[in-house]
Structure 1
Amino acid sequence: MMSGKHFKAHEVSCCIKYFIFGFNIIFWLLGVAFLGIGLWAWSEKFSVFLGIIFFLELTAGVLAFVFKDWIKDQLNFFINNNIRAYRDDIDLQNLIDFTQEYWECCGAFGADDWNLNIYFNCTDSNPSREKCGVPFSCCTKDPAEDVINTQCGYDIRAKAVSEQRTFIYIKGCVPQFEKWLQDNLTVVAGIFIGIALLQIFGICLAQNLVSDIEVVRESCLFT
């Protein structure tokens, strides 16, 4: 039978346990999938898992800086592929529309990228009513309009570029994204640094918790 003296001498720190719990709640907000992996890591090797995540994020940050041109090419490839399939998938269509509206852009590098889509291309053989047009998400917004005009991009690319500027966004989404990153570099860096510090803090707490558990376990064996 274990003595009361044993539990007074060796107990797992309550503060550390609650800190660990709070730390995992923060990561839960990042997604259910991450929580599932985190719960597995908690029961197996929690501090090791956090160390791996931190290393992978650090590596991803370095690679993103070194291979930024490659990443830009991949983003261009991704957007253009989705332009081709714009009418094939409603979820994909909503994603592209959201992207173009949010970044105030049109196509990967310009409105003419919509020639890749069979409904919007400007070939003479195209029978579509949307020929030489762009989706409504490329159109500049009039604050006075309450209802979206889904036909605002019809025939717009048949006009001169100088005239297009009045009705649609001319800049592509790739350069707009690059501009956003440059304008918000401090904020983006701060977020990643903050996440990294949280993870380092979590690794330290997890290591302390493991140490306390080992002490209690050893005490149980020799009591």
Structure 2
Amino acid sequence: MSQGRNHSHISSCLKWTLFMFNFIFWVCGLLLSAAGAYGMYFTAVESWDGKGSLETAYIVITDLSGVLLALGAIIWIVSFSGCVGALRENLCLLRLYFWSVTIFLILELIIAIAFLVFPWKSREIMELILSERLIEDYRESDNTKDLVDTLQMKVGCCGMTSQGYLDWNNNEYFNCSVGNPSPERCGVPHSCCLSWSMGGQRDMMCGYNMQSLKESEASDVINTRGCMSAIIQLLENNLYVAAGVIFAITLFQMYVTHQAKTLLDQIELQRARFYAPPARVLANGHSYGKLPLLAGPPVL
């Protein structure tokens, strides 16, 4: 005879493992969203003075805090569906979780292949995005300013693209045009200075007038290479570590996707067995399924 309806086809170990993974990511997504909302609030307060409501809204939405809030919300929603879906054995939530993680994995693979097949074009697009969001908006919010300063000091770079320190000509405060009234005209932020990135004596005015110098002359005072070049060189110098981290993240995503699919199949199998009509046992010990309503007694 069969094992009966009391037998469960759902693995408790699989169910609770998936629940714990997603609970951790759910908490992380919640913290990211809270940090993003906190940063957006202060960005709105800073931007409100002297600006219209539409301009303030644009600054707040496109600020890095907005990106952090959106990323945290996505992580929160996906991990919540996986967490509750596994706990309550909810097929709808588990399908949402499975397809979301699968789509993320496919997009990551597409981006990785694009970087491998079209490295220079991909780098050009990345430099353009970073230059527009970080260089031009450097003084629009403290979040962007702090990120750029930290990146330039920690990595030892200045600017984002292959133009290096000359990228800062795209910022209205550091632009070298004759009509620019800014005292920082034709300069670069202090975070570009060698004294700041190396932890030496720090001078807030060390970046003044650096764009008017040749690279060979400016390199004695500031970092002249762009941050994209510096980051690529850093990854090349730590190639095995970077490859290991990327491989581990991809492997983890594939594992979680497989676990979600396995749990989905087990729940569907359990429900199919539970709702299946019970077998009837004949006098001779043989069993048969549910008979039609008009059928007569079985012939022995």
TM-score class normalised by the smaller sequence: 0.7 to 0.9
Residue of structure 2 in register with 1:93 after alignment: 145
Q: Which amino acid aligns with 1:55?
A: I
Q: Aligned equivalents of 1:220 and 1:130: distance in 2?
A: 74
Which of structure 1's runs of 4+ aligned residues deviate more than 6 A? none
Residue of structure 2 in register with 1:125 after alignment: 179
Q: What TM-score do you get using the length of structure 2 for normalisation?
A: 0.63
Q: CA deviation at 1:134?
A: 0.9
From the superposition, tell whether residues 52 and 127 of structure 1 become closer, same or farther in structure 2 (CA, over 3 Å). closer
Q: Which moved more, 1:115-124 or 1:100-109?
A: 115-124
Kept after mapping to 1: 8 A contact 2:157/2:225: yes
Q: Which amino acid aligns with 2:12?
A: C
- State which of 16, 19, 22 in structure 1 corresponds to 2:20: 22
From the superposition, tell whether residues 175 and 165 of structure 1 become closer, same or farther in structure 2 (CA, over 3 Å). same
Give aligned-pair identity as a percent: 31
Kept after mapping to 1: 8 A contact 2:157/2:226: yes
Kept after mapping to 2: 8 A contact 1:12/1:216: yes
Q: Aligned equivalents of 2:193 and 2:219: distance in 1?
A: 9
Kept after mapping to 2: 8 A contact 1:120/1:132: yes
Equivalences for 1:1-223 in 2 at 5 Å? 6-7=5-6, 9-25=7-23, 27-28=25-26, 29=28, 31-40=72-81, 42=85, 43-45=93-95, 46-81=97-132, 82-107=134-159, 108=161, 109-140=163-194, 141=196, 143-145=199-201, 148-159=202-213, 161-221=215-275, 222=277
From the superposition, tell whether residues 165 and 19 of structure 1 become closer, same or farther in structure 2 (CA, over 3 Å). same
Gaps of 5+ in 2: 30-71, 86-92, 279-300
Q: 1:87-142: per-residue Cα shift (whole Å, max 9, x none)? A: 33333222222222222111132222222223223334333221222111111125
Q: Aligned equivalents of 1:83 and 1:52: distance in 2?
A: 32
Any idea what SS the aligned residue of 1:166 has?
coil
Cα RMSD for the two superposed structures: 2.7
Q: Which amino acid aligns with 1:76?
A: E
Gaps of 5+ in 1: none
Q: What TM-score do you get using the length of structure 1 for normalisation?
A: 0.81
Q: Aligned equivalents of 2:230 and 2:247: distance in 1?
A: 24
Any idea what SS the aligned residue of 1:23 has?
helix
Q: Which moved more, 1:116-125 or 1:178-187?
A: 116-125
Kept after mapping to 1: 8 A contact 2:10/2:266: yes
From the superposition, tell whether residues 70 and 160 of structure 1 become closer, same or farther in structure 2 (CA, over 3 Å). closer
Q: Which amino acid aligns with 2:78?
A: I
From the superposition, tell whether residues 27 and 166 of structure 1 become closer, same or farther in structure 2 (CA, over 3 Å). same
Q: Aligned equivalents of 1:100 and 1:144: distance in 2?
A: 15
Q: 1:39-69: per-residue Cα shift (whole Å, max 9, x none)? A: 3364141434433332222222111212221
Kept after mapping to 2: 8 A contact 1:105/1:171: yes
Q: 1:18-59: per-residue Cα shift (whole Å, max 9, x none)? A: 121133245444645213123336414143443333222222
Any idea what SS the aligned residue of 1:169 has?
coil
Kept after mapping to 1: 8 A contact 2:164/2:226: yes
